[in-house]
Amino acid sequence: MGAGAVNERESAAELIASLTRKVADFPAPGIQFKDLTPVFADPRGFAAVTDAIADVASGADLIAGIDARGFLIGGAVAARLNTGVLAIRKGGKLPPPVLTEHYELEYGTASLELPADGIDLTGRSVVIVDDVLATGGTVAAAHRLLEQAGAQVAFAAVVIELAGLAGRDLVAPLPVHSVVVL
């Protein structure tokens, strides 16, 4: 990677960090929510996110976006790479039959689902994308769910990683690419 690419990535990270809205005590007291809505609403910010993740995800058969902000990122990255996008849904949003994976969040529990039929993931190379890696529960559950469906998960890519919450440790040995680390 040349110096220009590093400078572009550093500029992208700075732009994304500057556009990210920080909301105290949401969704629960003591949690500082990182709202990427302003990043996605800004054409430069959205392009920076899309480019940074597409640069590392080339070669994947599918981009798997986690409900809901991961859908935005995943769709844009898949379009940029001319590949398919897979929506990993929150529990209860898909008709049966579904594959389900339950997990812990920093502020509760949840589940993720994929259709159990209609999409053959066996042996397909998949990159998971999401907005934020916090404690790692959501990405780890998505990884387990995709493996249950037969996919080969190459890595996860996130816009922001909250390094102090050790999410990377929970998803290990799955590699994680973060555009911004806070």
Q: Which residues are marked as active site?
A: 69, 106
HSE-up (13 A, CA, CB side) for residue 149: 30
Instruction: Give the residue from 86, 23, 27, 78 showing the smallest Cα distance to 50.
Output: 78
Task: Decide if 49 contacts 41 (C-beta within 8 A).
Answer: no
CA 43 to chain centre: 19
What type of residue is 148? Q
Task: Decide if 66 contacts 130 (C-beta within 8 A).
Answer: yes
Distances (CA, A) of 114 to 42, 53, 176: 31, 23, 21
